[in-house]
A and B are shown apart, each in its own frame.
Chain A
Amino acid sequence: MVDTFLVPLLKIVIVLNATLVSVTYMVLLERKVIAWAQSRLGPMRVGPYGILQPVADAVKLMIKEDITPVRADKWVFTAAPIIAMVPALIVYAVIPFGPEVSLFGRQVTLYITDINVGLLYVVSVASVGVYGIILAGYASNSKYPLLASLRASAQLISYEVAVTLTLVSVILVAGSLSMVSIVRAQESAGVWFAFVQPVAFVIFFIGGLAETNRAPFDLPEAEQELTGGFHTEYSGMRFALFFLAEYANMIVVSSVATTLFFGGWLRPFPNVEALAFLDLIPSWAWFLLKSFVFLYIFIWVRATLPRYRYDQLMRLGWKVLIPLAILNLVVTGIVKVILL
């Protein structure tokens, strides 16, 4: 009873809440880091150094008027933010934050579940998230959101191909689709897959930037061309859902990158005995630390690089990343066959 219902339920509650809190703080971190990059202070008024800003933002978004345009498709308009948010949250079901640990005299796994098609689950759930964006643009019945949503979905579909191909080469190396087994494979190989599959990692990260609509690929939100992007007509909490979904997706990409390429919960150099003192830091802390580095790079890239033009974006996706990913996959396959 406790093991089948209570423990998983508790884990789900903890993971969901932790995700939502970290999403709101990601927004603050982003504003702060970009402000520092531009020699500004960023939010300073609410709480010391603005650390209570997310609370103020949440209250503001909740009490704002919720407007539905008269000509909008009401049902789809209401459903779109939910469709965008749900896939971003249910992906966390398979992300391993740590191995099995004993907690209060009970063996507890630091992941909600470990299914044998874990990685495929992540990809397929993420592929449903695109509906939120397409439908938001369509249901608003307004030209800028429609253009933005067409851009966004074309971009997502194009980069999904490259990202999925890189995942296949990781699966080839690890020999499993389960997220936990992929981390275990890195433990037994004694090397992070980022060093085995550097090309795959670079393509995955660029594709991840594009799939989360982040700079330099944030064309769906290009203010100069499209006002606010696909969520122009949304206000209040519904707008907030899109915003949260974007940041939750960033955390997903960072967590998947950590799991697949940077050893998940493993400490650096897991096979070097001399560094055993690093185990004083618990495994889940290593996972969070590595994911945080990726999230920081997301913000760093946004503060650094200018936006791509649309044709450049498509050329990069179809003519550079996808052929490179296919080549990488073929080479990985050949090397694997020769080495076995």
Chain B
Amino acid sequence: MNNIDRRTFFKLISSGIAGAIGGKLVTPGIAWAKGTNFHSDEFYGILVDTTRCIGCRRCEKACAEANNLPVPDINDTSVFNHERQTSVIQWNVVNRFETEKGTVFVPRRCMHCNQAACVAACLVKAMKKRKTGQVTWDENCLGCRLCMVSCPFDIPKFEYDKAIPKIQKCNLCWGRFQDGKPPACVEACPMDALLFGTRRQLLEEARRRIYQQPDKYYHHIFGELEVGGTSHLYLSAVPFEQIGFRTDVGTTPYPEYSKGFLYAVPFILVLWPILMLGMSQVTKRQQNKE
């Protein structure tokens, strides 16, 4: 505070007042703190509490608006009649499930795995795992679709109908994140069923909810350990099989399965010939001696 001079002080004060007035005039109340920077170098993620979701589909609308996708009609409830998958124009879909504890709505989107199979599978590093947890897609894609094959949750979708096709999937609003804003779906959720924060904070919050309301929740956080952990964490009142989750994915990160083999490749390609050559040289010498 000591090194603030008179000029900066006035600047700050006046900008504060102007900001307050302006903010009030333009968007009353709802505007998020501008320039909320996420400084932490940890993995960020979203905690989805399916016991809170009311199926309003505002996250779908906000997602479409933020990512320039066709905006769905969220008053149409007929979409709940069948279970939907994400698609090239819908990165986030809300599904309805009838369970033993009543109707449950579940938003489905990219899980942003800690060690993503799609990232490991990508030949040209078009799929990237960012330092802060997001799995994003770049334009240098070959179109090989190995990411689609490798994904345990069947999330990346390919634009088969385009001349220059892209891979479409949730990127945890990477653009907004760089501007210091949380994902659009989180901002739109009226029930705080979606919660944005660091993965560590979210896990703590999820555990707190289970601990405080043990009868309400099924005692498992989907995404804590599944496929080595994911950035999207889910809480539920019923076992996760009942709300359309694959619970047979295991806790080993998918890239681990191929790591051993892939590490062996350079050894075999480089060291094996040298070893063989060496051996042949040795045997040759012995032959020559004889």
Q: Does A pair with B?
A: no
Question: Interface of A with B (CB < 8 Å)?
Answer: none
